[in-house]
A and B are shown apart, each in its own frame.
Chain A
Amino acid sequence: MDALLRVTGLRKAYGPVEVLKGIDLSVRPGEKIALIGPSGSGKSTCLRCLNFLEKPSAGQIFLDEEEIGVRNGRPMSDRELAPQRSEMGMVFQLFNLWPHLTVTENVAIAARKVRGLPAKEARELALEMLAKVHMTHRADASPAELSGGQQQRVAIARALSQKPKLMLFDEPTSALDPELVHEVLKVIEELAAEGRTMLIVTHEIAFARDVADRVLFLDGGVIVEEGPARNVISHPREPRTQSFLKQIRH
């Protein structure tokens, strides 16, 4: 089957420090991929390069055969990137909800201003998305009144409202208190069951094993090991993967 997302030779350097040293990756429609690895391994940077929040130093990214961030051989500006970014829904570690807007407005504003939906339709869409993350009951709250888990669920609804081809989760539960992790993972699991394509950077190994189709283990800016989730996590081949998994379990 054709790949929905294709990444070739992705590199990213900050000055002399190379964080990504050549990532190749291909994601089929409907596939769920977990990126795991120690902190500083480059997994978040990799995800952030996909929608050009970080500008890659080299390499190419194709979504549905359209190259991201480059037009006629030239790098695109943030302004030109906007339509491409709206095809990928991003969920941040720190939620990044907009505090001056209500929950519903957070979810509706992109539909209104980016896609030009009328206010009423945007609101209906937002409520529909909030229902998916079980947050309809706080539709008129302000983000500051919500728990971390609730905020993250709203952030997921915000990303869903773009009707993205691909969802990007950047450590969605790392900033949460332990008792709030579950409600967010459950929502992501439900989305996975709908057959959405998603890339998840996570430290939740059990979740990666149960939900992802494929796991990539990154270390030092390269993919050290990849394969079906159960294989990589239960029977890692590479010593680096083995020691990482051992550390994270204890």
Chain B
Amino acid sequence: MNSFFQPFFEYANEWAPQLGEAMVNTALLSVSGFALSLVFGLLLLLAQGSDYALISRFAKLYITVVRGVPLLAVLFLIYFGLPGIGITFDAFPAAVLGLSLCFAAQVGEVLRAGLKAVPNGQREAALSVGFTPSQSFAYIVLPQVLRIVLSPMLVTFVSLLKDSSLASLITVDELVLTGRAMATEYFLPLQIYIAVGLCYFVIAWPFSLLSRRLAR
């Protein structure tokens, strides 16, 4: 057992900076992906409610496709596949794009559920005191939606953070890829992948805890 823990102490000052840097990259990737997911998710939500049948049907189809196609397939398609028809991305933007295209559906769904959770009477009461529709939304509906969606949004973010590990397979230099490089360098895959797992845990756990507290 001692020999299992020993490398952690022996190499701490070599591993810590490498993993620390990789953690920053993972965080950067996840935050960018999540930010873009919010944008796409909002667009998707608007598209679903669109009066034009073509647009709302596209939104529905998009959600079905995204629910059925793995993120990894999307990432490979963007990064390795699209160059075949002359569209090339760098690894990092490809990963951000793939993550946000896939998570937009989930984000849109969370927003939709949040809107649905605010009873119609709230809006009616707002209109009855003389608010315009946009005022009703801004002062009465939106603050309630934000409070409702915060917890599920954090859960979504943790999912996205975990899935950002797949970006390693299209050569984005984040935690897992760094771990793989270290594993070959030190021949200590068990210890190194556990360390990588802990790095994810350190980022994700606070969000998980917070989301559960907010859900209560």
Whether A and B touch (Cβ < 8 Å) is answered with yes
Check A98 for interface membership: any CB of B closer than 8 A.
yes
Assembled-state Cα–Cα distance A185/B121 (Å): 22
Assembled-state Cα–Cα distance A82/B126 (Å): 10
Tell whether, in the assembled complex, residue B134 and residue A79 are in contact, meaning their CB atoms are under 8 Å apart. yes
Assembled-state Cα–Cα distance A158/B121 (Å): 15
Assembled-state Cα–Cα distance A39/B186 (Å): 78
Q: Which of A96-123 contact B (CB under 8 A)?
A: 96-100, 109-110, 113-115
In the complex, which range does the number of interface residues on chain A fall in?
Answer: 20 to 34
Assembled-state Cα–Cα distance A113/B143 (Å): 15
Please indicate the chain B residues that have their CB under 8 angstroms from the CB of A87 in the complex. 130
How many A-B residue pairs have C-beta atoms within 8 angstroms? Tell me.
Answer: 73
Tell whether, in the assembled complex, residue B125 and residue A96 are in contact, meaning their CB atoms are under 8 Å apart. yes
Check A217 for interface membership: any CB of B closer than 8 A.
no
Please indicate the chain A residues that have their CB under 8 angstroms from the CB of B20 in the complex. none
> B36 to chain A: closest CB distance in Å?
28
Please indicate the chain A residues that have their CB under 8 angstroms from the CB of B124 in the complex. 53, 92, 96
Cβ-closest chain B residue relative to A93 = B121
Assembled-state Cα–Cα distance A155/B133 (Å): 20
In the complex where A79-B134, A94-B121, A98-B122 touch, is A53 in contact with B147 (Cβ < 8 A)? no
Please indicate the chain A residues that have their CB under 8 angstroms from the CB of B130 in the complex. 82-83, 85-87, 110, 114-115, 162
Tell whether, in the assembled complex, residue B121 and residue A100 are in contact, meaning their CB atoms are under 8 Å apart. no
Tell whether, in the assembled complex, residue B122 and residue A86 are in contact, meaning their CB atoms are under 8 Å apart. no
In the complex, which range does the number of interface residues on chain B fall in?
Answer: 20 to 34
Tell whether, in the assembled complex, residue B125 and residue A85 are in contact, meaning their CB atoms are under 8 Å apart. no
Q: Mark B122-166, 1 if CB is under 8 A from A, else 0.
A: 101111111111110001100110010000000000000000000
Looking at chain B's contact residues, the main secondary structure is: helix
Q: Mark A150-162, 1 if CB is under 8 A from B, else 0.
A: 0000010011011
> B215 to chain A: closest CB distance in Å?
16
> A144 to chain B: closest CB distance in Å?
12
Tell whether, in the assembled complex, residue B125 and residue A92 are in contact, meaning their CB atoms are under 8 Å apart. yes
Check A90 for interface membership: any CB of B closer than 8 A.
yes
Tell whether, in the assembled complex, residue A86 and residue B129 are in contact, meaning their CB atoms are under 8 Å apart. yes
Cβ-closest chain B residue relative to A115 = B130
> A216 to chain B: closest CB distance in Å?
21
Q: Which of B119, B139, B143 is packed against the most chain A CB atoms within 10 Å?
A: B139
Assembled-state Cα–Cα distance A173/B207 (Å): 43
Please indicate the chain A residues that have their CB under 8 angstroms from the CB of B119 in the complex. 94, 96
> B6 to chain A: closest CB distance in Å?
54
Assembled-state Cα–Cα distance A217/B191 (Å): 81
Assembled-state Cα–Cα distance A159/B125 (Å): 9
Check A125 for interface membership: any CB of B closer than 8 A.
no
Tell whether, in the assembled complex, residue B143 and residue A100 are in contact, meaning their CB atoms are under 8 Å apart. yes
Q: Which of A50-101 contact B (CB under 8 A)?
A: 51, 53, 77-79, 81-83, 85-90, 92, 94, 96-100
A96-B119, A110-B129, A158-B125 are known; give 13 further A-B pairs, CB within 8 A: A51-B128, A53-B127, A77-B133, A78-B127, A79-B133, A81-B127, A94-B119, A97-B125, A98-B140, A98-B144, A100-B143, A100-B147, A114-B130
16 pairs, CB–CB < 8 Å, chain A vs chain B = A51-B128, A53-B127, A79-B132, A85-B127, A86-B129, A94-B119, A96-B119, A96-B121, A98-B122, A98-B140, A99-B144, A109-B129, A109-B139, A113-B131, A114-B135, A158-B125
